Amino acid sequence: MNLLQYTVPSGLPCYGDWDFAMHPGTFRFPVCDLRDAFRAGLEYSSKYAPMWSKKSGIYRDHLNSMTILEWLESLDATGDPVTVYSEQVPDLFWTTAASLIYGGKFTDVICPECTRLYIPADTRKLYWTYGSGLAADGGHRLVCPHDHTLYSMMEWNS
Cβ atoms within 10 Å, residue 148: 19
- Beta carbons within 8 Å of 87's beta carbon, 6+ residues apart: none
Sign of CA dihedral 12, 18, 156, 126: positive
Answer yes or no: is pLDDT of 30 > 90. yes
Q: Write the burial class of residue 85 (CB in 10 Å: 0-12 exposed, 13-18 middle, 19+ buried).
A: middle
Cβ atoms within 10 Å, residue 135: 9
Check residue 122 and give its pLDDT.
99
Sign of CA dihedral 33, 34, 35, 40: positive
pLDDT tens across 110-151, in order? 999 999 999 999 999 999 998 888 888 899 999 999 999 999
* Poorest-pLDDT segment among 17-21, 31-35, 76-80, 133-137: 76-80
What's the pTM?
A: 0.89
Residue 36 banded pLDDT, cuts 50, 70, 90: very high
